[in-house]
């Protein structure tokens, strides 16, 4: 599994097949190696979700 994690560093992830869902626009899943939320790009390949909008809202900031 070390080889898979190396690919994760280059934002090339592998989906957990039993967690693949369809939201009407993209397929989503969790990476089988690093556990990140990922989505399937058109043309193939799984990339990590952009989560900046979620992490930017920290309820303990104030
Ligand atoms: Zn990964």
Q: Which residue has better confidence, 18 or 57?
A: 18
- Residue 58's pLDDT band, with cuts at 50, 70 and 90, is low
pLDDT computed for residue 50 by the predictor: 74
Q: What is the pLDDT of residues 3-49, one digit of tens each?
A: 778 999 999 999 999 999 999 989 999 999 999 999 999 888 999 98
For the chain, state the CA radius of gyration: 13
Closest to 45 (Cα-Cα) out of 58, 59, 27: 27
Query: DSSP assignment, residue 56?
Result: T
Give the span between the Cα atoms of 44 and 61, in whole angstroms: 38
H/E stretch holding 8: helix 2-9
Q: Which residues does residue 27 pair with via DSSP β-bridges, in sequence order?
A: 22
> In angstroms, what is the span from residue 57 Cα to ligand 1's centroid?
24
pTM for the whole structure: 0.71
Collect residues with CB below 5 Å from ion ligand 1.
8, 13, 31, 33-34
């Amino acid at each position: 599994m070390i080889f898979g994690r190396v690919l994760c560093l280059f934002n090339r992830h592998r989906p957990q097949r039993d967690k693949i869902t369809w939201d009407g626009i993209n397929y989503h899943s969790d990476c089988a190696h690093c556990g990140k939320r990922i989505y399937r790009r058109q043309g193939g390949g799984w990339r990590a979700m952009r989560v900046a909008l979620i992490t930017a809202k920290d309820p303990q900031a104030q």
